[in-house]
Amino acid sequence: MQCRLAAALGTMLLVLAGPISAQVPGLPVYGGGFSTGITFAGVAGFSPSDTPTGKATAFGVSGTLGVGMLGLTGIVARVDPSGSGTGRDSFTQVGGLATVKAFGGPLIPLALYLQGGYSRRTIGQGSNETTMTSVPLGVSISLVIPSVVVAIRPWIAPRLQFSRVSGPGLSGPGGGSSTDTDFAFGAGVDLTTLSGFGFRAMAEKIGGSDPIVALGLAYAIRVPGL
């Protein structure tokens, strides 16, 4: 039953999102793991000028289904870059993230997760169409520190970021493509109450760019049978 439910959600994300994005531009990849059940979150991200998306503000809402060792997240975000010009207009993007718990359990405060995904965004039309593809692959490590009022969960998430740009103007008049591989590193902390409400703070740095920072709120719901 759990496997069928997870597979159904994964199929739904593929159908609704089109190209699945493991990282919505302007928002860090969340590496704090997942809870069994359903978790809703809202987050605001702030990017300085020297980042892959340029200076921008992003607002996103997400939903995560945690079933056994698998967590599937869908997110919708509005990204508002500063300035104008090609690729600098505000846009809405739908994405998803798959997380697998490789180590950890209910009685073990330390957990190791495997994360990977795919993102694709197209700018322009026809002969002016440019496609940007991103494939992030990495791990995240989290530690739960219990207390009377809130549970504190710090986490770190190193990964490799594979990026590819294809379109006109690259490698001659007929167009071409360019591929880059960068090391990315994310870190954050969650504060979660016994009622399921929580606060998130996180940051991410890709290659030699400036870090992206984000703040958010979350609410976790336990679902019987999961």
CATH number at residue 14: 2.40.128
> What pLDDT does residue 2 have?
44
> What pLDDT does residue 54 have?
67
Q: Residue 81 belongs to what domain range?
A: 2-221
Bridging pattern class, strands 108-116 and 37-47: unpaired
pTM, to two decimals = 0.79
Is residue 64 assigned to a domain? Answer: yes
CB atoms within 10 A of CB 24: 27
> What pLDDT does residue 226 have?
67
> What pLDDT does residue 210 have?
85
Is residue 71 assigned to a domain? Answer: yes
Give yes or no for a contact between 131 and 165, defined as CB atoms under 8 angstroms apart. yes
Is residue 44 assigned to a domain? Answer: yes
Tokens matching residue 110: 């330390």
Is residue 226 assigned to a domain? Answer: no
Say how far apart CA 179 and CA 173 lie, in whole Å: 18
Bridging pattern class, strands 108-116 and 56-67: unpaired
Is residue 148 assigned to a domain? Answer: yes
Digit-by-digit pLDDT tens for the chain (226 residues) are: 444 444 444 443 333 333 333 466 788 889 999 989 999 999 999 988 766 666 888 899 999 999 999 999 888 888 887 754 445 677 777 778 899 999 987 788 999 999 987 777 776 666 677 777 777 889 999 999 988 889 999 999 999 988 888 876 665 555 677 788 889 999 999 999 989 999 999 999 988 888 899 999 999 998 877 6
CA atoms within 13 A on the CB side of 97: 27
Tally of domains within the chain:
1
